[in-house]
Structure 1
Amino acid sequence: MHKLIAKLLHRSPPSHVERLAGRDCRRLIKRIDETRELVELLQAQAPDLLRTHPWVLLWLEDNDSFLVELAEAIGEPSLTTDSRHRSGIWLRPWPLQPLPARTTNPDHIESQTIGAK
């Protein structure tokens, strides 16, 4: 992921990326928080979907990681979760424990994340 961000910043001047991130990085922080909110919703309302399609969580976790790394790459201080960001957005923590790479066994995910309430 570091290589992808480096390529992005090499092709687009940081000022362009910062502009896309919004004032005080608000747009970028909002996308991070919304991804986490979506995971919470899926966990609460569609646990069967997550058990049968565990890669959905991997996609969302990868997006979260990418956006957090992008924020840091443009100079955003380390993001403190479950606190108010300087943009005014309350940044919730990632709602699940990080999933092991290449998780494909729904029972494995259920026992570690979805089933633990």
Structure 2
Amino acid sequence: MPSKLDTALGEYLKQIKNYPLLTAEEERELGAKIRALADAQEHQAEKNIPPETMERLRQEAAEARERLAQANLRLVISVAKNFRNRGLPMEDLVNEGNVGLMNAIDRFDPAVGSR
């Protein structure tokens, strides 16, 4: 009989298969939305950006981060599988991979275009 953790991981794997993968162009577009917020926050005072515009940029950036994360969850699983049997449970490897994915999304530069 599978444990609750095995069942939970199995359900997680089923759920992430429903998220569509992104094309390189979609990744660049989503990265540009995230970068637009960072640029606006950096220059908000000198450019006198209206609060409504900042809120719209925040919303777009949050949606872009979520979409990038969802589309790359299978990559996290793939990498985590390479580290099985090294002392950490698969669930911990996936959790650490998800944290790393979010950090990578924050550092992603659409101008460089690396996937």
Given the two structures, how large is their TM-score scaled by the length of structure 2? 0.41
Higher relative contact order (CA 8 A, sep 6+): 2
Structure with the largest fraction of helix: 2
- Flag the structure with larger Rg: 2
Given the two structures, how large is their TM-score scaled by the length of structure 1? 0.40
